[in-house]
Structure 1
């Protein structure tokens, strides 16, 4: 890869991983608008490492608190709100793991079309707009119950449909069960940690099965740039939604989805 390709892919991955606008929808444009070859599994793993590092560093206090409290709970010292939150993150991750395992081939083989991506961008974008406008509440991530977590978890499984956006659909579900904008976004970002770990792990397995020469300077730079852009994205997204909510992202999704449908299917 040349350095322009490295920069573009890393920034796109870092930004769209956490914004509710679908990373798959944006990454599909890269080979369409350029003549670049596929970047390969090694670079995909590097980008996931960058995104994972960004969210862990940004929420380092919450992550550390969940780890410490979970270990204390396992030793019989009781379950506090941090340990409960850690449990909810695990529970909400189970549906996407189970459904992804069963439907992986169908999703990767038949559903990665621009028609599905465009319709998903528009449909799930309008649902996000409705949830933000009509249903949002005041609860934080520490005030969830088991039913709420299951709803958010099964909603996250819908992100297996390209164009849905993992962060977008989890924020939508969280708003629908009465969470605040900030609480919904924070819980969505915490949910991304196990999902990115699992996705990166699967790619690593594929990389081991297909050994290839690795340009470590490209890997390190890509991971660093992806991490920095993701960290900046998380920071400003949480500040932006306090003032403007989700509607700017809804408008962007609808316009982008309509453009994809027009460009590829008109």
Structure 2
């Protein structure tokens, strides 16, 4: 991979990370589309670490607030998640604790699925002999998720505010 390909993939990563599309899928599609050498897992990981660093820097004050609110979250996690508890003395800290808990809950399914299917994902997406299968799988999943997001947007009748989020919404 030459420097220009790396720059293009970095731009693709930056543009797709915050859209409701898979930036990882695009890092596989672009080299296939332009007949470039497949990027290594370590290169893709480096791009994701760069994105994560940017997110941490951008949201650093919110992250610090959530970290400082950990004692509130540990004192009454169920109450915070159900809206029947928290810190009446410091409602802002309770809101920060609740947000932190919701982020942890939202992260768990991805972590669990990633650990369970790590070998399968590596076999399908990170071996040269399966590149056509990987592209077909990616294309199907991008279309399927796009349809689900479109239907969810059309069916949804309300907008939820932060205090109105439930743990199932996470």
TM-score range, shorter chain: 0.7 to 0.9
Choose from 113, 118, 121 the match for 1:99.
113
Q: Which residue of structure 2 lines up, in the alignment, with residue 177 of structure 1?
A: none
Whether the 8 Å contact between 1:16 and 1:22 is mirrored in structure 2 is: yes
| Residue ranges of structure 1 left out of the alignment (5+ in a row) | 150-266
In the TM superposition, residue 83 of structure 1 has moved relative to its aligned partner by 0.4
**CA distance in structure 2 between the partners assigned to 1:16 and 1:32 by the alignment:** 17
**Quick one: structure 1 residues 14 and 137, their matched pair in 2 at CA, closer, same or farther if it must change by over 3 Å?**
same
**CA distance in structure 2 between the partners assigned to 1:40 and 1:31 by the alignment:** 11
Residue-pair matches, total: 149
**CA distance in structure 2 between the partners assigned to 1:69 and 1:23 by the alignment:** 31
Q: SS of the residue aligned with 1:118? A: helix
**CA distance in structure 1 between the partners assigned to 2:94 and 2:48 by the alignment:** 31
Choose from 110, 120, 139 the match for 2:160.
139
Choose from 99, 122, 133 the match for 2:143.
122
Question: TM-score, normalising length from structure 2?
Answer: 0.72
In the TM superposition, residue 41 of structure 1 has moved relative to its aligned partner by 4.3
**CA distance in structure 1 between the partners assigned to 2:23 and 2:14 by the alignment:** 9
Per-residue Cα deviation, 1:62-97 (whole angstroms, up to 9, x for no partner): 222211212455589946011011011112212221
Whether the 8 Å contact between 2:29 and 2:135 is mirrored in structure 1 is: no
**Quick one: structure 1 residues 61 and 6, their matched pair in 2 at CA, closer, same or farther if it must change by over 3 Å?**
same
Q: Which residue of structure 2 lines up, in the alignment, with residue 51 of structure 1?
A: 51
Q: Which residue of structure 2 lines up, in the alignment, with residue 82 of structure 1?
A: 96
Superposition map of 1:199-214 within 5 A: none
**Quick one: structure 1 residues 92 and 2, their matched pair in 2 at CA, closer, same or farther if it must change by over 3 Å?**
same
**CA distance in structure 1 between the partners assigned to 2:136 and 2:101 by the alignment:** 37
Q: Which residue of structure 2 lines up, in the alignment, with residue 219 of structure 1?
A: none
**Quick one: structure 1 residues 136 and 110, their matched pair in 2 at CA, closer, same or farther if it must change by over 3 Å?**
farther
**CA distance in structure 2 between the partners assigned to 1:134 and 1:148 by the alignment:** 15
Question: Larger C-alpha radius of gyration, 1 or 2?
Answer: 2
**CA distance in structure 2 between the partners assigned to 1:117 and 1:41 by the alignment:** 17
Whether the 8 Å contact between 2:31 and 2:39 is mirrored in structure 1 is: no
Greater relative contact order structure (CA < 8 Å, 6+ sep): 1
**CA distance in structure 2 between the partners assigned to 1:118 and 1:140 by the alignment:** 33
**CA distance in structure 2 between the partners assigned to 1:105 and 1:38 by the alignment:** 19
Per-residue Cα deviation, 1:90-115 (whole angstroms, up to 9, x for no partner): 12212221222112112332476222
Per-residue Cα deviation, 1:12-67 (whole angstroms, up to 9, x for no partner): 11111221122233222332234543443443333122101222233233222211
